[in-house]
């Protein structure tokens, strides 16, 4: 049994909140650079260059990549041979988020009640997803999610007979309906299978997969590539002002489902697709 103190968890999550909001991951930087090189529209290329310049300024001057520093979403893979000492794990996660958003001078966007709308003042509580795994380590993935793109996300409860084409049509419908509102070029996270809530979780987690990695399942990999091509032919383009780069990647996760169902969730993210991963 390995012991991890809550102070270590708090410290790392604080740093991760600040890092994710100021620095784009290498895979996203490479995808954006490729988009600049391949974009056919002069206006689209200009917008992509401006986005790239913005990322450079953010990292050099320690300014958030986007003014919407998001609601903190965390995936915690907790090794079953780990003992957390010094307090509750959930309290430690929220304390790390609290310190990160306060000390990093990040915008606080969380309200205490969805109807009364009083701001909590520290961007907590976070949305935390736990998974108990083998081993004696804790893998933490933080993905601050802005709501310009989050609001464009969809769930479709399809019939099994709708099949693969129904899944593709649903994803394309969500992207077309999002249009410029999701700050394209987008990253499209998709969850297929499970139940109503499981497919949404699959889609959210799909956004944390590096955009240069495709699915291990051959037919899903082909679907990801086909949908990316079709999305980039919609003409929405960078900033929604036309072009050949509407999305940088389509990441699809799947899960077993019921004989009577075919749930599909589409979780859209903007061009920054912020996330950060550490293993303790």
Q: For residue 129, what are the contacts with CB-CB under 8 A and spacing of at least 6? A: 73, 74, 75, 76, 201, 204, 205
Q: What is the pLDDT of residues 222-257, one digit of tens each?
A: 999 999 999 999 999 999 999 999 999 999 999 999
**pLDDT band at 161, cuts 50/70/90?**
very high
The continuous run of DSSP H or E covering 197 comes out as helix 196-206
Q: Helices (H) and strands (E) in the chain — how many of each?
A: 8, 10
State the chain's mean pLDDT as an integer. Answer: 97
Q: What is the pLDDT of residues 51-97, one digit of tens each?
A: 999 999 998 999 999 999 999 999 999 999 999 999 999 999 999 99
How many Å apart are CA 12 and CA 20, to the nearest integer?
12
What's the confidence (pLDDT) of residue 151? 97
pLDDT in tens, 136-155: 999 999 999 999 999 999 99
**Residues of the chain above pLDDT 90, percent:** 99
CA distances in angstroms from 161 to 32, 81, 259, listed in the order given: 37, 44, 11
Cα 14 to chain centroid, rounded: 18
Q: Which residues contact 85 (CB under 8 A, 6 or more apart)?
A: 3, 4, 5, 6
239: its two tokens: 């900033």
Cα 189 from chain centroid (whole Å)? 7
Smallest Cα–Cα separation from 31: which of 148, 184, 182? 184
List Cβ neighbours of 115 (8 Å cut-off, separation of 6 or more): none
End-to-end, the C-alpha distance of the chain in Å comes to 14
């Amino acid at each position: 049994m390995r012991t991890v103190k809550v102070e270590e968890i708090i410290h790392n999550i604080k740093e991760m909140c600040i890092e994710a909001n100021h620095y784009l991951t290498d895979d996203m930087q490479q995808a954006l650079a490729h988009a600049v090189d391949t974009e056919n529209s002069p206006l689209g290329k200009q917008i992509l260059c401006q986005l790239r310049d913005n990322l450079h300024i953010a990292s050099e001057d320690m300014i958030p990549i986007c003014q919407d520093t998001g609601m903190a979403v965390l995936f915690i893979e907790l090794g079953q041979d780990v003992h957390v000492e010094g307090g509750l794990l959930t309290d430690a996660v929220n304390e790390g988020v609290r310190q990160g958003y306060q000390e990093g001078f990040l915008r606080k966007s969380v309200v205490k009640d969805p109807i009364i709308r009083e701001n909590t003042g520290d961007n907590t509580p976070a949305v935390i997803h736990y998974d108990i795994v083998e081993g004696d380590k804790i893998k933490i993935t933080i993905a601050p999610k802005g709501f310009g793109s989050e609001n464009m996300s969809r769930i479709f409860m399809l019939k099994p007979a709708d099949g693969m084409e129904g899944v593709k049509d649903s994803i394309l419908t969500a992207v077309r309906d999002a249009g410029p509102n999701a700050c394209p070029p987008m990253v499209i996270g998709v969850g297929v299978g499970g139940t109503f809530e499981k497919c949404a979780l699959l889609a959210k987690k799909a956004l944390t997969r590096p955009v240069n990695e495709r699915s291990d399942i051959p037919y899903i990999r082909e679907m990801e590539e086909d949908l990316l091509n079709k999305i980039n032919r919609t003409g929405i383009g960078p900033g929604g002002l036309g072009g050949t780069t509407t999305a940088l990647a389509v990441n699809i996760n799947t899960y077993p489902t019921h004989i009577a169902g075919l749930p599909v969730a589409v979780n859209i993210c903007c061009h920054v697709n912020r996330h950060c991963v550490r293993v303790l």
